[in-house]
Structure 1
Amino acid sequence: MMDRPPTHNFPHASDEFAVAQPPDGYDGPESAYTLAYADQPFLLRRELRSVRVQLELLKPELLLQDHGVSATLVLFGSARIPDAATAQARLDEALASGSDSAAIARARQGLEMSAYYEQARQLAAIATQAGSRWPNKLYVVTGGGPGIMEAGNRGAHESGGESIGLNIVLPHEQRPNPYITPQLCFQFHYFALRKMHFLMRSVALVCFPGGFGTLDELFEALTLMQTGKCTRRPILLFGESFWRKVLNFDHLVETGMINAEDLSLFHFVETAQQAWDWLINDYRLEELLSAPPAPTDV
């Protein structure tokens, strides 16, 4: 039996789960005798979707509360950006194998983009080292996969800190990268709940180059902040030349699709140190995290 305060008069669910073995004749797959909360086929029914959504909100929320996590630096970015060594090896292989010019050009582009991996790794290390000294400890959180996500968790790990990974089930396998703190590594089915958890504790968001997934995460944050549905936090876009080619922000203003002041929702940066200096000097992040932790809410 679990230890409980003397005023708790009912047994804990885990106590009854431990002893609720089905009797003979009721232990087959056709039996409905299994406790509802231990019955996986029942929990996976279409009608239980609302319950699964609630569980996917609650599990990370409660476990992060248990761990004392209340402030996060969110790193978004492509799963396809490799570290420099991997990118160089791909280029060397393409050149040695006599690949066509298009394949070699892609490999050269991969090597160029790998610089963002190192910047994400450096920023995560700086944030983890500095954030561990403040009363409201700062944790790096990523989407838990490879590429820029791996770089963020790796930088935190290499600096001796813990970090969070919010992974998601995809048609193609996406394994958690090996640098996430295991007790802070979560797997999601619903994109919406995953994005909510990115924002719930964020004190700043840093968006590196990426594709559809990164754009989805970026515009979710921008929309919620623009509409006042989420506390306004700094959004740093890494690599101005990349983002200006992908998104014509000025055209959105010129055509009246957004207001000119909406451009202040984000800020361009080029290096890890520049990003961190902006957060410390312009956003005054240290003062924010020196205050007592605030409760999360939805």
Structure 2
Amino acid sequence: MDTAVDLTARNFPSAEEEAQVSVPPPLYDGPESSYRLAFTDTEFLLQPELRPVRMQLELLKPEMVQQAQGVRSTVVIFGSARIPPREVAESRLADARAAADEAAVRRAETQLSMSRFYEEARRFAALVTERSRRMARPIYVCTGGGPGIMEAGNRGAHETGGKSIGLNIVLPHEQQPNAYITPELCFRFHYFALRKMHFLMRSVALVAFPGGFGTLDELFEAMTLMQTGKCRRRPILMFGREFWTRLINFELLIETGMISAGDEKLFRFVETAEEAWSVLAEDYGLDDDEVGNDGDPAGL
């Protein structure tokens, strides 16, 4: 009996099928041979001339995976990799005091003071994950995937039973992804520029905790894009007014005309996880009586 032909059957083999069956004949299986399929030839793909292709792949892979995972809205958490959890900071301080090392004690005391930001990032990520869970489009926490504040963000989401994203970057001194990222949403980048693009592509808010050059780079690129109208404005929340106003003299920028009056309204200072969530809730109408029938607030 004849079997009906599937109308949706492929007309050509897939690239995956071709790669699986493509075995070079003995004469052409050596390292000098060019017989390999181009898309299975790693040496070829890593040549300098193939940079545009590699950049496209780095754009597409996280995009396609997040689409498949249903990730449409994110809150991005920036911050230092050097801020430890409170228990680690307390242990370091105890060790420094036991060693009677005054310089180490001062450093450890500073770390302990800064560790409050780790705890706030952890609590904020938990709040975002828990309170957006019932929405048709949940808001997922996204970080740079490393230690410190990044770990705190992924940890808060993980401890609340939610997914979170980590956008890791290859560095000269290898940085391992923290243990709290959802494995299928843990990505690794070669290009800083494409990593920063992915920070912004799905973000409904950007949250900056104290940090160094990397945090400043990410923060000011986002501000510049919003200031110049290259991307839509969204809440930028900066945890720790005292830290940020000591680090950056925003008033001087206005007084000298380096930024326009009103540009300082691109961001807001917050101190606690609850305060940060209340800003998002107000801006996006996330209160119970303002969520639509499908559980999805307008604009998300």
Shorter-chain TM-score tier:
over 0.9
Structure 1 position 24, deviation (Å): 0.7
Q: Residues 62 and 187 of structure 2 are in contact (CA less than 8 Å); yes or no, is this contact kept in structure 1? A: yes
Structure 1 position 206, deviation (Å): 0.5
Cα distance change on mapping 1:282 and 1:59 into 2, 3 Å: closer
Q: What does residue range 253-272 of structure 1 map to in structure 2 within 5 Å?
A: 253-272=254-273
In 2: Cα distance, 1:282 partner to 1:39 partner = 49
Deviations 1:97-139 (A, max 9, x none): 121x222111100000000000000000010011111111110
Gaps of 5+ in 2: 1-5
Cα distance change on mapping 1:170 and 1:291 into 2, 3 Å: same
Question: Would you say 1:115 and 2:121 are equivalent positions?
Answer: no
Name the residue aligned to 2:156: 155
In 1: Cα distance, 2:66 partner to 2:160 partner = 21
Q: Residues 238 and 268 of structure 2 are in contact (CA less than 8 Å); yes or no, is this contact kept in structure 1? A: yes
- Residue 34 of structure 2 aligns to a residue whose secondary structure is coil
Question: Would you say 1:281 and 2:282 are equivalent positions?
Answer: yes
Q: Residues 72 and 139 of structure 1 are in contact (CA less than 8 Å); yes or no, is this contact kept in structure 2? A: yes
Structure 1 position 56, deviation (Å): 0.4
- Residue 158 of structure 2 aligns to a residue whose secondary structure is helix
Q: Residues 234 and 283 of structure 1 are in contact (CA less than 8 Å); yes or no, is this contact kept in structure 2? A: no
In 1: Cα distance, 2:193 partner to 2:181 partner = 22
Deviations 1:207-230 (A, max 9, x none): 000000000000010000001111
Which deviates more from structure 2 when the two are superposed, residues 121-130 or residues 25-34?
Answer: 25-34
Taking structure 1 as the reference length, what is the TM-score of the superposition?
0.94
Q: Residues 286 and 297 of structure 2 are in contact (CA less than 8 Å); yes or no, is this contact kept in structure 1? A: no
Cα distance change on mapping 1:292 and 1:20 into 2, 3 Å: farther
Cα distance change on mapping 1:125 and 1:97 into 2, 3 Å: same
Amino acid at match of 2:73: A
Q: Hey, which bits of structure 1, 4+ residues long, moved more than 6 A? A: none
Name the residue aligned to 1:224: 225
In 2: Cα distance, 1:31 partner to 1:62 partner = 33
In 1: Cα distance, 2:299 partner to 2:283 partner = 21
- Residue 220 of structure 1 aligns to a residue whose secondary structure is helix
Taking structure 2 as the reference length, what is the TM-score of the superposition?
0.93
Q: Residues 125 and 156 of structure 2 are in contact (CA less than 8 Å); yes or no, is this contact kept in structure 1? A: yes
Question: Would you say 1:78 and 2:80 are equivalent positions?
Answer: yes
Gaps of 5+ in 1: none
Structure 1 position 6, deviation (Å): 2.3
Q: Residues 237 and 268 of structure 1 are in contact (CA less than 8 Å); yes or no, is this contact kept in structure 2? A: yes
Name the residue aligned to 2:247: 246
Name the residue aligned to 2:3: none
CA RMSD of aligned residues (A): 1.6
Q: What does residue range 1-298 of structure 1 map to in structure 2 within 5 Å?
A: 6=8, 8-99=10-101, 101-285=102-286, 290-291=296-297
Cα distance change on mapping 1:152 and 1:200 into 2, 3 Å: same
In our comparison, the structure showing a higher alpha carbon Rg is: 2
Structure 1 position 276, deviation (Å): 0.6
- Residue 268 of structure 1 aligns to a residue whose secondary structure is strand
